[in-house]
């Protein structure tokens, strides 16, 4: 999602998941371009029928760190308003929210120096994976998942290779980058969103 993007307001493609030459599955990808004025087009990509098997990916331009927080909060508000507009019943929404709470509790920080294992996580497994009678643990961090939308969200900070340029041309320091990262983490924590850098 980038305000300077040129192209269609909403674009569709798919990714093929292959093993050797066999196509195991296809992942639908809807891309909303440009300004938030196109948010009404989200209805084509995210609706009551597919929310249980969807993931939201929000991309941020790290070459403009002064816009990161505002841009992220604006897109999260857009997604939140769209999901509220779907008028999902509690019967539909509760299992989705519980699934996010369960994933939040299952997360473990990778050990420093440990050999990384390749892990595939199914973010969109059927909502029946969390039964309504299954006890969902409470969240002890009062700031976590306060805005639980019931859908996995991934926030990707792109162009992080621009850090050197920011240090040279704008005199950014490590403590400023750490502050930016901490602030983005706080925002993401409210939604249970993952934060990655590319």
Q: What is the 3-state secondary structure (H, E, C) of the chain?
A: CCCCCCCCCEEEEEEEEEECCEEEEEEEEEEECCCHHHHHHHHHHCCCCCHHHCCEEEEEECCCHHHHHHHHHHHHHHHHHHHHHCCCCHHHHHHHHHHHHHHHHHCCCCCCCCCCCCCCCCCCCCHHHCCCCCCCCCCCCCCCCCCCCCCCEEEEEECHHHHHHHHHHHCCCHHHHHHHHHHHHHHHHHHCCEEEEC
- Residue 118 pLDDT: 56
Verify that 95 and 30 share a domain, yes or no.
no
Domain with 152 in it: 46-106+120-197
- Residue 140 pLDDT: 79
Verify that 77 and 9 share a domain, yes or no.
no
Verify that 178 and 149 share a domain, yes or no.
yes
Verify that 65 and 124 share a domain, yes or no.
yes
Q: Answer whether residue 187 is part of any domain.
A: yes
Q: Answer whether residue 184 is part of any domain.
A: yes
Domain count, the chain: 2
- Residue 156 pLDDT: 97
pLDDT in tens, the chain (198 residues): 444 555 678 899 999 999 999 999 999 999 987 677 788 899 999 999 999 999 999 999 999 999 999 999 999 999 999 999 999 999 999 999 999 999 998 888 877 777 766 555 565 555 444 444 567 778 878 899 999 999 999 999 999 999 999 999 999 999 999 999 999 999 999 999 999 999
- Residue 111 pLDDT: 79
Q: Answer whether residue 112 is part of any domain.
A: no
pTM of the entire structure?
Answer: 0.84
- Residue 33 pLDDT: 79
Verify that 55 and 99 share a domain, yes or no.
yes
């Amino acid at each position: 999602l980038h305000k300077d993007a040129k192209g269609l307001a909403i674009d569709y493609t798919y990714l093929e998941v292959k093993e050797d030459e066999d196509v195991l599955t296809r992942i639908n990808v809807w891309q909303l371009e440009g300004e938030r004025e196109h948010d009404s087009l989200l209805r084509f990509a995210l609706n009551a029928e597919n929310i249980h098997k969807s993931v939201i990916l929000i991309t941020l331009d790290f070459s403009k760190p002064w816009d990161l927080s505002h841009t992220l909060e604006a897109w999260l508000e857009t997604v939140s308003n769209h999901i509220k507009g779907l008028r999902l019943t509690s019967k539909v929404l509760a299992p989705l929210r519980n699934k996010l709470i369960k994933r939040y509790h299952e997360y473990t920080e990778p050990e420093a120096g440990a050999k990384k294992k390749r892990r595939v996580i199914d973010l969109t497994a059927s909502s029946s994976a969390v039964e309504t009678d299954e006890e969902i643990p409470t969240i002890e961090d009062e700031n976590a998942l306060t805005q639980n939308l019931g859908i996995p969200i991934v926030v990707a900070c792109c162009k992080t290779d621009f850090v050197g340029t920011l240090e040279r041309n704008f005199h950014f320091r490590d403590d400023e980058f750490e502050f930016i990262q901490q602030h983005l983490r706080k925002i993401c924590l409210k939604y249970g969103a993952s934060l990655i850098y590319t």
